[in-house]
Amino acid sequence: MKICKVEKTLVSTNRIRDLGHRPLLVVQEKAGGPRTVAVDAVGCVPGDWVIVVGSSAAREAAGDKSYPSDATIVGIIDYWEEQ
């Protein structure tokens, strides 16, 4: 799993129905690095350091085996110092 920082919510009105209304968050592995998108399964806020699961596990972690996610936030890290 990757360690990422939550930056903000991503607004995407035109999306496939399977994505539903789950919040999509922009996350970064490190400041200045590439931004990617993760589905929130724990309820986090911008600034949180979180654990992001990828691969096929991201689907089940999103709560449903057929959910189309390849990156799902599965936990908030209690304390993390940026590197």
Examine residue 19 and tell whether it contacts a second copy (CB under 8 A).
yes
Cβ neighbour number for residue 50 with a 10 Å cutoff: 23
Examine residue 45 and tell whether it contacts a second copy (CB under 8 A).
no
Looking from the CA of 57 toward its CB, the CA atoms found within 13 Å total 9
**58 φ, ψ to 5°?**
-65, -30
Could you give the CA distance from residue 41 to residue 73 in angstroms, rounded to a whole number?
Answer: 6
**Among 8, 42, 45, 46, contact with a second copy (rule: CB under 8 A):** 42
Strand 24-28 relative to strand 35-40, pairing: antiparallel
Examine residue 22 and tell whether it contacts a second copy (CB under 8 A).
no
Examine residue 72 and tell whether it contacts a second copy (CB under 8 A).
yes
Examine residue 21 and tell whether it contacts a second copy (CB under 8 A).
no
Which residues contribute to the site for a second copy (CB under 8 A)? 1-3, 10-16, 18-19, 24, 26, 29-30, 34-38, 41-43, 51, 53-61, 66-72, 74-79, 83
